[in-house]
A and B are shown apart, each in its own frame.
Chain A
């Protein structure tokens, strides 16, 4: 929900950048979407890059908190992870402009945007920590969490390129299998995918 003028600016930035591309978008266009003068946008957030970075941070925080809310609880970790992933995809499906802007445009924006993306992917890997810890002494899994996070990002990129972000939740069963594969045995993964992700009996 948009609460403040700053929120309106960030939402406008996401819309404009998603539809025009970062390079072509201007601060004037972002300001026009909000019916605020450019000077006000500059005072509330900053220039075009600052608008992008602030919108990126706000939206990824929202997705992260939604995932965290569904992650907490007493279910076994693989089920909680599946629930967090489901919440994450629900949030993204409801914000297609954000996904388009914050996946496709990150390389164009540059280093600071990539740093935010890296931080977001690292935050996502925190959900994988129990799985990583359980396999800490095992050989071969050192890059598992990083590959999973990067792989999920690339799937989101494809949905953004295909302009089908609203459909991303269809990938939940397969993404659940992929995300759990480095940490769980196949039978356990299938039980989680079939289970539905809520409190066990």
Chain B
């Protein structure tokens, strides 16, 4: 990447920003770089000020792009938020589905999917805030996307249960819906309280709660004790 000599009067360029003026970079690279910076900036800006108060100005300041550049990529703050949310939630879902597909055992699936989810959220507090808290105030389109993600989690539980238990032994579908909803509320309250970094410590209790209605108390308790004996994942 070429650099442009900076005079003392020029604003200092941040490392992630492209050099001003002609730099000879491929247009696709430039556009991709700008888009990714804007999407990352949305999560950071919304963590700072909340979705309602967030402006395009907030986003471009964090992203280090011009207003014109922003509007070349997105129509509004809402569109930028929705795309950022979809990107991040797709990453979360990919990690959870990967964990799900690594094994056939319902017990291991529940533990590994829950661990992947909690660990990712804890590692990226701004993304956790965006996906768990702010999405609820970002308008009906955002809420619909959030609901679709929650339905996907419910479907994963149902798929795992269907592959593990014979039909007569399966609890009704409302069980998975209330588990996903209830776990969401637990995580929501912790993220709201600024306890995102501690989410992985909930792994034993959350895994127990999911396993209990499907595998019974003895199995859920045994697995809970096993998880408690292990070190807390960092």
Residues of A within 8 A of B (CB): 107-108, 110, 114, 118, 121, 138-144, 146-155, 157-158, 161, 171, 174-175, 177-178, 181-182, 185-186
The listed residue (B137, B175, B186, B192) touching A150 by CB distance below 8 A is B186
The 3 closest A-B pairs by CB, nearest first: A154-B181, A150-B185, A151-B178
Contact A150 B182 (CB under 8 A): yes
* Chain A residues with CB below 8 A from B206, complex form: 143
**CB-CB contacts of B178-200 with A at 8 A, as 1s and 0s?**
11111111100100100000000
* Chain A residues with CB below 8 A from B228, complex form: 139
Say yes or no for B20: interface residue by CB 8 A criterion: no
* Chain B residues with CB below 8 A from A178, complex form: 174-175, 178, 213
User: In chain B, residues 201-229, which have Cβ atoms closer than 8 Å to a Cβ of chain A?
Assistant: 202, 204-206, 208-209, 212-213, 216-217, 220-221, 224-225, 228
B180 to chain A, nearest CB (A): 7
* Chain B residues with CB below 8 A from A175, complex form: 174, 178
Residue of chain B at shortest CB distance from A106: B136
| A186, B185: Cα distance in complex, Å | 25
Say yes or no for B172: interface residue by CB 8 A criterion: yes
A99 to chain B, nearest CB (A): 15
Given contacts A150-B182, A151-B178, A174-B174, whether A138 and B221 have CB atoms under 8 Å apart is: yes
B50 to chain A, nearest CB (A): 9
A106 to chain B, nearest CB (A): 8
Tell me if B's interface is mostly helix, strand, loop or mixed.
Answer: helix
Contact B171 A177 (CB under 8 A): yes
The listed residue (B174, B181, B192) touching A114 by CB distance below 8 A is B192
Residues of B within 8 A of A (CB): 136-137, 147, 150, 171-172, 174-175, 177-186, 189, 192, 202, 204-206, 208-209, 212-213, 216-217, 220-221, 224-225, 228
**A-B contacts besides A141-B205, A154-B184, A155-B178, 15 pairs, CB < 8 Å:** A114-B192, A139-B221, A139-B225, A140-B224, A143-B186, A143-B205, A147-B179, A148-B182, A149-B182, A151-B177, A151-B185, A153-B181, A178-B174, A178-B178, A181-B213
CB pairs A–B below 8 angstroms (14 shown): A146-B182, A146-B185, A146-B186, A147-B185, A150-B186, A151-B177, A154-B182, A157-B181, A161-B147, A175-B174, A177-B171, A177-B172, A178-B175, A182-B209
B170 to chain A, nearest CB (A): 12
| A148, B175: Cα distance in complex, Å | 10
| A174, B212: Cα distance in complex, Å | 16
A191 to chain B, nearest CB (A): 16
* Chain A residues with CB below 8 A from B189, complex form: 118
Residue of chain A at shortest CB distance from B172: A174
Contact A155 B181 (CB under 8 A): yes
Contact A147 B209 (CB under 8 A): yes
B228 to chain A, nearest CB (A): 8
Contact A147 B183 (CB under 8 A): yes
Residue of chain B at shortest CB distance from A148: B182
